[in-house]
Structure 1
């Protein structure tokens, strides 16, 4: 079965542009608004949606995303709400929906059960920032069985041996981290991202999308000079926080304009 995520990137490339991957936390400012926001993000030009269920210990997230996830948890978000949201969003827009989740909630829920419920809800796969392929056999098996995409992270510090494993075991795309440390906006995107994508290409990667630090259309365009997709999170969460769904829609449209520069 072909990857819906890879197909979305290929479709963007065939249209002469790079892919725009947009991240939003689920449950912020409340569950229904987060669903409407994800739909607006897709309608405004995101090729792939990346949804983050809130987690009590978000070790990789910057302040803006941390505050949003804390608000979602305080608002009563439950793990099962992830599948409710994915089901409704998938029913409203024809864009692949990925869940970006820390590994512990998946383990607690049950890896096979999580995969089955995500598939039933119309989800396309998981981005797992805190588990490496060598520790993820149970998830690799479940994703093969369900044809869900499994997206692992590559960092500038990854060894060649690790990159080889990441490229071999990832489907959809490899999530390429441009800077070490937490997410958030960077005035100057790290040259490390360009180098890392080059290393991934040498290891045979089909699709590499760069995230962490992209906050405007110019940076989107810059990343798409060498990567297959640009991942934006913090800038979208800020737009939703400050301007609601309409503010988010405007921000997403502006970012999407960078894919054709």
Structure 2
């Protein structure tokens, strides 16, 4: 597969353009297949001002996901969600923002690197996050994503040595995903004070946008996280609302509140 067959909106150019224009980036999350109308949440997010959307592929052993995203994954699996089914839904969706899939390496390896990345690109997905694949084992997947014109987005943890963080910043594509702390995903009462310092350290190594995730739960968190970072990823807070019955319009209102807070502070 080559780049000319990829569809969808490219991650790196869109996010870099918006960052360079002074915008703080906002990337909300939804678990693929969590409901019959799950792709309506993509459209609601985009309409509410999302700069890209992260889509989690349901998996039975989600190691870095906290209770909320685990519950969403279990619900999707119970509904019969599969990798191919989620990608088929995305092929039918029309969303004018970059789409990014987050998954675990088991699902990639099961499909085969090239086949998996080609299927992403055909579905309009132009970014991929595989948080459980270490740097030392990335080479084959890097080649496959590059061939499919899909950005392989790497996750940086605060515990990483300076040399490792520099390598992550150099090898990541699209953006660098910075963890706020060494925790699983989930809603938090407050962000760790060290998160901003970590984002600032990463930005010193990366020309790509640096986005903070893990525990960004409120507009206040988004504003605090974006102070040093280029933007934020919001997952569990949105999925908690969805699991509790929030409609696409109501989840879109959550994203709109996050967008409004970022724009009010950072213009």
Scaled by the length of structure 1, the TM-score of the pair is 0.93
Cα distance in structure 2, aligned partners of 1:253 and 1:106: 33
Aligned to 1:77: 81
Aligned to 2:6: none
Report how far residue 15 of structure 1 moved.
4.6
Q: Secondary structure at the match of 2:17?
A: helix
Confirm whether residue 25 of structure 1 aligns to residue 31 of structure 2: yes
Q: Secondary structure at the match of 1:224?
A: helix
Aligned to 1:41: 45
The answer for unaligned runs of 5 or more in structure 2 is 4-8
4+ residue runs over 4 A deviation: none
Confirm whether residue 54 of structure 1 aligns to residue 58 of structure 2: yes
Q: Secondary structure at the match of 1:138?
A: helix
State the Cα RMSD in Å: 1.6
Does the CA-based 8 Å contact 1:174-1:207 persist in structure 2?
A: yes
Does the CA-based 8 Å contact 1:86-1:121 persist in structure 2?
A: yes
Aligned residues: 256
Cα distance in structure 1, aligned partners of 2:176 and 2:20: 19
CA deviations over 1:87-118 (Å, ceiling 9, x no partner): 223xx221000000011100001110011111
Q: Secondary structure at the match of 1:27?
A: coil
Which of 238, 250, 256 aligns to 1:253? It is 256
Does the CA-based 8 Å contact 2:166-2:205 persist in structure 1?
A: yes
Cα distance in structure 2, aligned partners of 1:84 and 1:114: 13
Which of 9, 15, 25 aligns to 2:15? It is 9
Query: How do 1:170-249 and structure 2 match up within 5 A?
Result: 170-242=172-244, 243-249=246-252
- Would the alpha carbon gap of residues 252 and 42 (structure 1) be closer, same or farther in structure 2, given more than 3 Å must change? same
Aligned to 1:63: 67
Cα distance in structure 1, aligned partners of 2:206 and 2:76: 39
The answer for unaligned runs of 5 or more in structure 1 is none
Does the CA-based 8 Å contact 2:48-2:255 persist in structure 1?
A: yes
Cα distance in structure 2, aligned partners of 1:82 and 1:205: 32
Report how far residue 6 of structure 1 moved.
2.5
Q: Secondary structure at the match of 2:83?
A: coil
Cα distance in structure 2, aligned partners of 1:124 and 1:209: 17
Aligned to 1:87: 91
Moved more, 192-201 or 205-214: 192-201
Scaled by the length of structure 2, the TM-score of the pair is 0.91
Report how far residue 136 of structure 1 moved.
1.2
